[in-house]
């Protein structure tokens, strides 16, 4: 009995201590004013004084809505404002930065792949129906290195999972010219995490089409592409198979990779990792403030976690931020 009593006392001390530790991690995230509407699949990027969330999707009464809205989060007041609608809906686009403007290309209007481009900057939105990607790029992954926006994988139509590709190309943000890159070495894919650090584009996870079983299958493969070498290199696989995971560079060496959809049993996850480029290793990092496929961007000393798909046929309007130093803290 004395031994059992001692064990109970230890357990009684351990549980509150564990709760305190978990709360400390949760409190590192600062809750911000929510997005004006629930949103997932949007394009997001950083301007000198603001974060932009453009387009996206949500659900109303069981019906998917394709959004035209362009929202601005002022980084001083932390308030959202409306920059006006796009000429047509846009979701799953890639984002580059040129002359202090965000450039959105690729993605879909919901009805067809988008071949135009959107420029956002100086409090204005300029929308063009041409001049973007000539290759349909829906659910593709990519990132900007110098003046080139790299685009990898994806499909020609949101519902065409059998059409996932391994193709890769770059689009010059200044000239609009495109050039073909070596194809992705892994399976044809969509919905992978992408981030640029140093002079390489890093890709993690995603989803592919299993033709034998006529279903989608999540991936754990990870690769990096160097435009300087014009080649891919294999990385240590992500800790588990996942699609819709998000990544953001913290510095020239470390990436924060988090969220996504794991499987039917666990569904959406808040799990997160720090990936060390130099050592090709992952370590556990503070989890997201909620389980979802989120938008992640960095501005200054903060990483921002925005909206996303948090349930089947549902979107979140949540907005949080956390200091980079807190993400790196053990």
pLDDT of 55 reads 98
- Say if residue 113's pLDDT is above 50: yes
For residues 101 and 83, give the distance between their C-alpha atoms in angstroms, rounded to a whole number: 14
- Any residues with CB less than 8 A from the CB of 291 and at least 6 apart, and which? 259, 267, 268, 269, 270, 310
For residues 164 and 209, give the distance between their C-alpha atoms in angstroms, rounded to a whole number: 7
pLDDT of 20 reads 38
pLDDT of 22 reads 45
pLDDT of 297 reads 98
Mean pLDDT of the chain: 92
Q: What are phi and psi of 289, to 5 degrees?
A: -75, -10
* CB count in 10 Å sphere of residue 317: 17
pLDDT tier for residue 300 given thresholds of 50, 70 and 90: very high
54: left (phi over 0), alpha (psi -120 to 50) or beta: beta
């Amino acid at each position: 009995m004395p031994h059992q009593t001692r064990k109970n006392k230890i357990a009684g001390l351990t549980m509150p201590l564990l709760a305190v530790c978990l709360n400390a991690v949760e409190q590192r995230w600062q809750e911000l004013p929510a997005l004006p509407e629930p949103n997932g699949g949007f394009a997001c990027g950083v301007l000198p004084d603001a974060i932009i969330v453009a387009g996206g999707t949500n659900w109303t009464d069981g019906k998917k809505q394709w959004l035209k809205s362009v929202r601005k989060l002022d980084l001083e007041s932390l308030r959202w404002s409306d920059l006006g609608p796009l000429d047509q809906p846009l979701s799953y686009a890639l984002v580059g930065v040129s002359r202090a403007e965000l450039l959105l290309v690729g993605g879909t209007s919901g009805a067809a792949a988008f071949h135009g481009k959107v420029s956002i900057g100086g409090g204005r939105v300029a929308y063009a129906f041409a001049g973007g990607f000539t290759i349909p790029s829906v659910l593709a992954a990519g990132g900007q290195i110098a003046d080139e926006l790299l685009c990898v994988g994806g499909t020609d139509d949101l519902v065409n999972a059998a059409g996932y590709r391994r193709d890769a190309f770059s689009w010059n943000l200044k000239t609009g010219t495109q050039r073909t890159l070596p194809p992705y070495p892994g399976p044809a894919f969509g919905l992978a995490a992408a981030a640029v650090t140093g002079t390489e584009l890093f890709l993690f996870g995603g989803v592919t089409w299993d033709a034998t079983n006529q279903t989608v299958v999540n991936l754990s493969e990870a690769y990096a592409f160097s435009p300087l070498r014009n080649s891919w290199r294999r990385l240590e696989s992500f800790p588990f198979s996942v699609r819709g995971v998000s990544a953001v560079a913290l510095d020239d060496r470390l990436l924060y990779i988090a969220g996504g959809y794991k499987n039917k049993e666990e569904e959406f996850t808040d799990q997160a990792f720090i990936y060390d480029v130099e050592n090709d290793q992952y370590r556990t990092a503070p989890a997201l403030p909620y389980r979802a496929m989120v938008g992640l961007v960095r501005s200054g000393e903060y990483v921002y976690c925005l909206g996303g798909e948090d349930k089947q046929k549902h979107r979140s309007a949540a907005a949080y931020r956390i200091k980079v130093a807190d993400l790196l803290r053990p």
